[in-house]
Every structure is written in C-alpha cells, then in structure tokens.
C-alpha cells in the first residue's frame, strides 16, 4: 500500500490535487478549442444528421466509405458555396447602398419615381400614401438620425458576418466528412464516455441526442432551407431589389417557425407595383407555393413530428444567432433542442423511479 494512501483509500488531499489537475487540464483543452466551438458543433450536427444517408451511399458504392464521404462532402460544399456566392454578392451591393445613405449628414426617406403619381392602380395608391420629404415620418427619421444610423450599422455588421458564416459552413462540412468516415468508432467512444460519466444510461442518451438532431435537422432546418431556397429562386429570377437581404431575413423567419410569409407578401406587393401583369402573376403564384410548402414538407420530413416545442426552437435560433452569427441560427436551435430532450428524459426517468407521473 502506498504511503500516501490510508487503509480505506487515497487521502483527501491526494484526491483534491488530482481533481484540480484534471480540472485544470480540461479547462485548458476547452480554452484551446473555444475558437472552433461553432465549427465543431455544426460539424457534429451535420455528421449525425447525414449518417443514415452516408451509410446508404456507402452501400451503393460497394463499401467504399471514403469515396462516399468525399462525394457527400463535395456535394455539400457546392450546395452551400454556390448560393452563398449569389446571396453574398447581393448583400454587398445592398450594404454599399445603405452605407452610402447612412454616411450622409442628413437622412431622408427614399422617394418613389415621379411617374408613379401619374400612374393608375396600385402604383398611384402607394404614391399617394408614401411619406414625402416634408412628411411626419421624414421628420421623425431626421429627429432620430443618430439612432437610425446606429441601428443600420448594427444590421450591417450582422450581415457582414454572412461571408464568415458561409466559410464556417464549408469548413464544418469538411470536418463532418472526417467524422462520418470514422462514425462507428466515434459513436462507440461517446457511448463509453457517457457511460463512464453518467452510468448505464449513456448509450440511451446518445441515441436520444442523435434522434433529436435528425428530427430537428430534417423537420425544422431542412424545411427552412428548402423554403428559403424556393424564396431565393423567386427573388433572384424576379429581379427583386436587395434579394440577398430578403433571403437572409426569410431564412431567419423560417428557422424561428414564423415562416417566409412576410417576405413573400412584401414581394407580391412589389411585383404588382413594379412589374407587368404576367411576371407579377407568375411571381405571385410562386410565392404562394413557397409560403404554403411547409404544409407538405413538414409531414414528409418530420415524420411522426417533433416533440420539441416551438418556443425552444425559437429561443435556440435567436440565442444562437446572437452568440455565433448565421451559423448559430442552426446550431442554437439544435443544441437547445438536445438539451430540452435530455432534460425531459432525465426528469421522466426520475419520476418513473419515484412512482410519480412522467412530465407531459
């Protein structure tokens, strides 16, 4: 028996020193990984969500796991980077115009073309109600020029992170490829870690977390991305101004479960005010299809439905966006959903053991 151990085990001081050393090492590791937290979290989410498809693709390719992984990663990078280029280009143009107006000494309400006053129909109705430079709204804007400028500057900074967010998506996709290629070993390691940390319930927690990720990724994020892609298609083909900004706004609304309806309605109004009849009709029909598409997509992608409340998704997406920008929209919703599901499962398990009714 060691001189530092008593008859009943290690001395308290030895245990304390070990805990401090291990805690310090863990804290140091976390500090080193902190700059990559968003990338690693999103990579894990992608890997878990894409794992069933990766297994199917590997089977189709005769068991060539790395070939399937490469194809999946390349496809994902293309799917993210190509739309990201067009949206980013539109955002740069919009940001340049807004910055030009914000940098002026005096802000003014933008005025409609003069011919709208002589037009008939919707253009005339909008022109009659549009605030003139000497109107109350214009005066309000001028009275609060500094506040308006600060708000717009905050928006520009947030939009400026779109390029960094797109790059993070691409890097996360590449990292998720390495995770997919070693998925079985990684899953077993996580099960062993949780079994060591929380006991025999570790594998069940891993399965619940994976199920939650796939449900939220397909039923919430998947629907939001498809709807946003449909919205972007209509906006860019229709030549709607500030299309990139509207796409980002639509993506945010779709993830927080509001839907792209507000953007679609504004686009329809713009179409009938500025376009000929046929293009306006076509864009209107497409926007209506886009708005109502979630009624079809959610039953298909969500399956039996998600038990995560909408409020959890909403808070996760907004909190994630404030914390990590564009990528946080996705990771925040998923991480908070996982936390909610694990907490609910833990409370229900404790309730069952005590003989009480599980939480609803």
Summarised one tens digit per residue, pLDDT across range 138-158 is 566 666 666 666 766 666 666
Q: Ranked by mean pLDDT, which of 58-62, 107-111, 228-232 comes out on top?
A: 228-232
Kindly tell me if the per-residue pLDDT of 291 is higher than 70: yes
Summarised one tens digit per residue, pLDDT across range 227-281 is 999 999 999 998 888 888 888 888 888 888 888 889 999 899 888 877 888 888 9
Closest CA to 102 of 57, 56, 154: 154
Angle, in degrees to the nearest 10, between helices 223-237 and 294-302: 150
Kindly tell me if the per-residue pLDDT of 287 is higher than 90: yes
Rounded Cα gap, residues 327 and 175, in angstroms? 15
Kindly tell me if the per-residue pLDDT of 305 is higher than 50: no
Between CA 3 and CA 6, with CA 5 as vertex, the angle to 5 degrees is: 110
Summarised one tens digit per residue, pLDDT across range 94-108 is 777 766 665 555 555
Three-state secondary-structure class, residue 284: helix
CA atoms within 13 A on the CB side of 307: 14
Buried b (16+ CB within 10 A) or exposed e, 240-276: bebbbbbbbbbbbbbbbbebbbebbeebbebbbbbbe
pLDDT class of 282 with cuts at 50, 70, 90: very high
Task: Quote the pLDDT of residue 217.
Answer: 79
172: alpha, beta or left, given left = phi > 0 and alpha = psi -120 to 50? alpha
Kindly tell me if the per-residue pLDDT of 306 is higher than 60: no
Kindly tell me if the per-residue pLDDT of 318 is higher than 70: yes
Residue 85: C-alpha distances to residues 117, 167, 227, 253, 327 (Å): 38, 11, 18, 21, 16
Task: Quote the pLDDT of residue 1.
Answer: 44
pLDDT class of 10 with cuts at 50, 70, 90: low
First to last CA, the chain: 53
pLDDT class of 2 with cuts at 50, 70, 90: very low
Which of 56-70, 161-175, 185-199, 346-360 comes out lowest in average pLDDT? Answer: 346-360
């Amino acid at each position: 028996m060691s001189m530092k151990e008593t008859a009943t085990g290690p001395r308290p001081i030895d245990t304390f020193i070990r805990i401090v050393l291990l805690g310090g090492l863990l804290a140091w590791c976390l500090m080193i990984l902190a700059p990559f937290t968003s990338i690693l979290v999103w990579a894990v989410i992608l890997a878990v969500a894409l794992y069933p498809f990766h297994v199917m693709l590997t089977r189709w390719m005769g068991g060539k796991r790395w070939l399937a992984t490469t194809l999946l990663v390349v496809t994902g990078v293309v799917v993210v980077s190509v739309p990201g280029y067009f949206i980013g280009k539109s955002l740069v143009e919009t940001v340049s115009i807004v910055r030009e107006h914000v940098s002026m000494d005096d802000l003014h309400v933008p005025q409609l073309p003069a011919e709208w006053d002589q037009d008939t129909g919707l253009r005339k109705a909008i022109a009659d109600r549009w605030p003139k430079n000497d109107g109350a709204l214009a005066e309000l804007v001028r009275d609060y020029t500094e506040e308006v400028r600060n708000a717009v500057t905050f928006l520009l900074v947030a939009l400026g992170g779109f390029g960094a967010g797109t790059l993070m998506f691409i890097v996360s996709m590449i990292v998720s490829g390495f995770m997919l290629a070693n998925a079985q070993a990684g899953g077993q390691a996580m099960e062993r870690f949780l079994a060591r940390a929380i006991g025999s319930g570790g594998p069940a927690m891993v399965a619940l977390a994976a199920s939650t990720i796939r449900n939220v990724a397909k039923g919430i994020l998947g629907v939001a991305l498809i709807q946003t892609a449909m919205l972007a298609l209509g906006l860019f083909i229709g030549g709607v101004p500030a299309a990139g900004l509207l796409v980002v706004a639509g993506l945010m609304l779709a993830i927080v479960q509001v839907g792209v309806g507000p953007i679609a309605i504004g686009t329809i109004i713009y179409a009938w005010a500025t376009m000929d009849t046929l293009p306006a009709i076509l864009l209107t029909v497409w926007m209506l299809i886009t708005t109502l598409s979630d009624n079809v997509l959610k039953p298909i992608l969500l399956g039996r439905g998600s038990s995560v409340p909408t409020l959890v998704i909403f808070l996760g997406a907004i909190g994630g966006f404030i914390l990590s920008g564009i990528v946080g929209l996705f990771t925040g919703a998923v991480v908070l959903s996982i936390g909610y599901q694990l907490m609910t499962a833990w409370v229900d398990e404790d309730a069952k053991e005590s003989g009480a009714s599980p939480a609803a």
